[in-house]
Amino acid sequence: MNIKEGGKPAGFDALAYAGCIREYNPDVVVFQEMDNFTTRNGKKDLLTELAAELGMFPYFGKAFTYATGDFGNAILSKYPFYNARTISSRPAGANEMRACSWIDILLPGKRKVRVGVTHLDVASDEQVRISMLATINTQMLTDNSLPTLLAGDFNATPDSETLNYARFRWQDIGDGTGNTISSTNPTKRIDYVMGYPKSWVRKSYQVVCFPHLSDHCFIVADVEHP
C-alpha cells in the first residue's frame, strides 16, 4: 500500500486504513510512504496505531529523516517475525534516499517466509532503479534459503528496463494484471508483488482502488510457495 505522503489523503487516520485492511484479512501488509512522528502527520505513530487496531506485528524501515521525524517503508504481519532489516541507498542521479525493508516470519507449522517492501526512485534514468534493485538482490537474496516476496512501488512499467532487470531474479507474480495508478483512473501498472525463487503460485490477485486513501490502487494477492 503506497499511502501517499504518510497517509495524507485520509487525514493520517489509522482507522480509515485499518478498515480497508480488515476487509481483506491479509497475513501481511506492506506500506510505502509511511510517516513516523513527523510534523506533517501531527507527530503520530501511525504504524503502531494500525498494529494495535488490527492485532498485527509492526516493523518500520526508515529511508530518511523528514519533518522532524522519519519517512520510509513499513510492514504489518499477522504472525511473529524473528528477523528484520532495512537497507538504504541513494544511487547517482536519485532524487532522494530509498530503502528496502524486510522481515522473516514464522508461519504456523514452523514454515518461514521472508517478506520485503521497497519504493524505487521516480528518476527518469532507469539505471537509478536498476542500481537499487542490484543492491536489494545482493542484500536480500545472498545466502537466503527462504521463499521470499518483495512488494512495492517500482515507479516503472512492465515493459521498462527496470522490470526486465527485476525479472532476471524475481517472478512477477502479478504478470498480466491491471493498472495501479492513478486510483481514480488507472492507466499504468507500477506496483508489483515479486517472488523468489520463481516457483510461487498465484491463487488470486486483485487490484483494488480507494481514492480516499491513496493515489495508488492497492494489490491484494493470495499466493503460496510449494
Give me the percent of the chain exceeding a pLDDT of 90.
Answer: 100
Instruction: Over range 115-130, report the average pLDDT.
Output: 97
Q: What is the largest CA-CA distance in the chain?
A: 45
Residue-range domains of the chain with CATH: 4-224 (3.60.10.10)
d(CA 34, CA 175): 26
d(CA 187, CA 36): 31
Residues 58-92 pLDDT 10s: 999 999 999 999 999 999 999 999 999 999 999 99
Residue appearing with cell numbers 495501479: 180
pLDDT value of position 96: 95
> For residues 58 and 47, is the Cβ–Cβ distance under 8 A?
yes
* Size of the chain in residues: 226
pLDDT value of position 84: 99
pLDDT value of position 211: 98
CA distances for 186 relative to 2, 24, 71, 191, angstroms: 14, 21, 26, 11
pLDDT value of position 179: 98
**What's the pLDDT band for 160 if we cut at 50, 70, 90?**
very high
- CA quadruple 96, 59, 85, 9: dihedral, nearest 10: -20
Residues 39-58 pLDDT 10s: 999 999 999 999 999 999 99
d(CA 94, CA 133): 13
d(CA 33, CA 13): 14
